[in-house]
C-alpha cells in the first residue's frame, strides 16, 4: 500500500475551510482518478495548513497518480496559490 501525503500551507481561515469542503465534495471524483482505499483531511496543528492523506493500492499506474495530482491541484485554484508539498510513501 502507498500513502500519498499532500501538505498545503499558507492558507487563510476562509480558504482552508473552503478547500476542506471542496475536498469532501470532490472525493468521489478523486476516487475515479486513482484507486484510493481511504482519504483523510486533517486540519489540526497550525491554523494556516491542511494535510491530506490518501491510502492507495499497491498497484498504481503513473498516469493514475498524475491525474490524481492534477485533480488536487485544480481544487487548490489558481488565485493566490498556497504552498503545496507532496510525498509518496510505500508502506
Q: What is the pLDDT along the chain (91 residues), one digit of tens a residue?
A: 899 999 988 888 888 888 888 888 888 888 887 889 999 998 877 778 889 999 998 888 889 888 888 888 888 776 566 788 899 998 8
pLDDT at 38: 93
pLDDT at 18: 86
Q: State the sign of the Cα–Cα–Cα–Cα dihedral 57, 85, 32, 45.
A: positive
Q: In what order do the strands lie in the sheet with 83-90?
A: 36-42, 50-56, 2-9, 83-90
Q: The whole model's pTM is what?
A: 0.84
Task: Enter the C-alpha cell of residue 53.
Answer: 492523506
Amino acid at each position: 500500500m502507498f500513502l500519498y501525503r499532500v501538505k498545503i500551507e499558507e492558507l487563510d481561515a476562509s480558504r482552508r475551510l473552503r478547500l476542506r469542503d471542496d475536498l469532501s465534495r470532490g472525493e468521489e471524483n478523486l476516487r475515479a482518478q486513482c484507486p484510493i482505499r481511504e482519504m483523510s483531511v486533517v486540519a489540526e496543528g497550525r491554523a494556516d495548513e491542511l494535510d491530506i492523506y490518501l491510502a492507495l493500492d499497491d498497484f498504481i499506474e503513473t498516469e493514475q497518480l498524475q491525474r490524481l495530482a492534477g485533480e488536487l491541484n485544480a481544487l487548490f485554484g489558481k488565485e493566490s496559490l498556497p504552498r503545496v508539498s507532496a510525498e509518496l510513501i510505500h508502506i
